[in-house]
């Protein structure tokens, strides 16, 4: 949708500059270009600029916009791929009934307080579209992971799920809307200066299902997510 709007805007602006450029040249002729009339000279220059340089600028803008859109799509596909790979690595020795879920939560620091929003998700049935639900950095195991800049885990009986969610900063009303889970394991994703830019969240229905080996896998995969959540340095291949 956004791409269509940009293209429509460029078409309108291009048509407008062509119209103005043609009009400027016509006025230049009316003033009398052959007599070197000052107004004619100005209008001639304006007309030439509008008819030559403006289309070139629009062309360069379009190419750059398309390249940016392609890069964003590539990053989104890569994040989905790494979410799926992480799910496969975690799910290797887990039962189907554990219902493992992998969720990538990106930090939005423009919000006050900052929020964690979904960027990628994978379940036993494969990659899923990112959900629209969010949480603040003061909520959930993911929020604890963000604030502590380190691995955060929690495990509890499903019957006590709502009470634990309230303890983790959610309201009782919010907690009642959540799917009940028994175990969480979250790992921070940091950029080149050590700032947390996202949280990799793993959860399952079964309490105490995550082992030290799962923590090692989480720490191993987070740099791959970081690469596609940050802009590459100048001159870096991507």
180: domain CATH number is: 3.30.450.40
**Domain termination residue (choose one: 69, 84, 106):** 69
Domain enclosing residue 57, as ranges: 2-69
Confidence bin at 21 (pLDDT 50/70/90)? very low
pTM for this entry: 0.70
In a domain, 113, yes or no: yes
216 and 163 in a single domain? The answer is yes
223 and 117 in a single domain? The answer is yes
Q: How far is CA 114 from CA 92, 111, 189, in A?
A: 34, 5, 15
In a domain, 176, yes or no: yes
In a domain, 82, yes or no: no
pLDDT value for 81: 87
Mean residue pLDDT of the chain comes to: 79
Number of structural domains (the chain) is 2
Share of the chain above pLDDT 90, in %: 50
Q: How far is CA 178 from CA 122, 140, 172, in A?
A: 17, 12, 10
64 and 102 in a single domain? The answer is no
pLDDT value for 233: 46
In a domain, 27, yes or no: yes
**Token digits of residue 159:** 């019957």
58 and 101 in a single domain? The answer is no
Q: Is the pLDDT of residue 183 over 90?
A: yes
Q: What is the DSSP string of the chain?
A: -HHHHHHHHHHHHHHHHHHHHHHHHHHHHHH-GGGT-HHHHHHHHHHHHHHHHHHHHHHHHHHHHHHHHHHHHHHHHHHHHHHHHHHHHHHTTS-GGG--EEEEEEEETTSSS-EEEEEEEEETTEEEPPPS-EEETTSHHHHHHHHHTS-EEEE--GGGHHHHHHHTT--HHHHTTSPP-SEEEEEEEE-TTS-EEEEEEEEESSTT---HHHHHHHHHHHHHHHHTTSPPPTT---
42 and 132 in a single domain? The answer is no
135 and 64 in a single domain? The answer is no
Q: What is the pLDDT of residues 31-66, one digit of tens each?
A: 554 444 555 545 445 544 545 555 555 555 555 666
């Amino acid at each position: 949708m956004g791409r269509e709007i940009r293209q429509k805007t460029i078409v309108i602006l291009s048509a407008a500059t062509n119209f103005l450029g043609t009009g400027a040249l016509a006025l230049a002729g009316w003033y009398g270009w052959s007599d070197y009339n000052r107004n004619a000279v100005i209008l001639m220059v304006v007309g030439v600029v509008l008819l030559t340089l403006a289309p070139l600028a629009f062309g360069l803008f379009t190419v750059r916009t398309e390249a940016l859109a392609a890069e964003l799509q590539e990053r989104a596909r890569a994040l989905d791929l790494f979410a799926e790979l992480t799910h496969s690595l975690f799910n290797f020795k887990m039962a189907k009934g554990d219902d493992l879920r992998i969720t990538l939560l990106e930090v939005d620091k423009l919000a006050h307080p900052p929020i964690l929003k979904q960027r990628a998700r994978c379940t036993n049935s494969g990659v899923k579209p990112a959900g629209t639900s969010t949480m603040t950095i003061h909520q959930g195991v993911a929020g604890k992971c963000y604030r502590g800049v380190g691995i955060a885990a929690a495990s509890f009986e499903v019957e006590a799920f709502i009470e634990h969610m309230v303890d983790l900063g959610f309201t009782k009303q919010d907690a009642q809307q959540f799917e009940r889970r028994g175990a969480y394991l979250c790992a921070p994703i940091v950029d080149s200066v050590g700032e947390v830019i996202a949280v990799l969240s793993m959860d399952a229905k079964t309490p105490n299902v995550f082992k030290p080996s799962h923590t090692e896998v989480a720490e191993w995969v987070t740099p791959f997510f970081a690469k596609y959540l940050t802009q590459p340095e100048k001159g870096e291949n991507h």
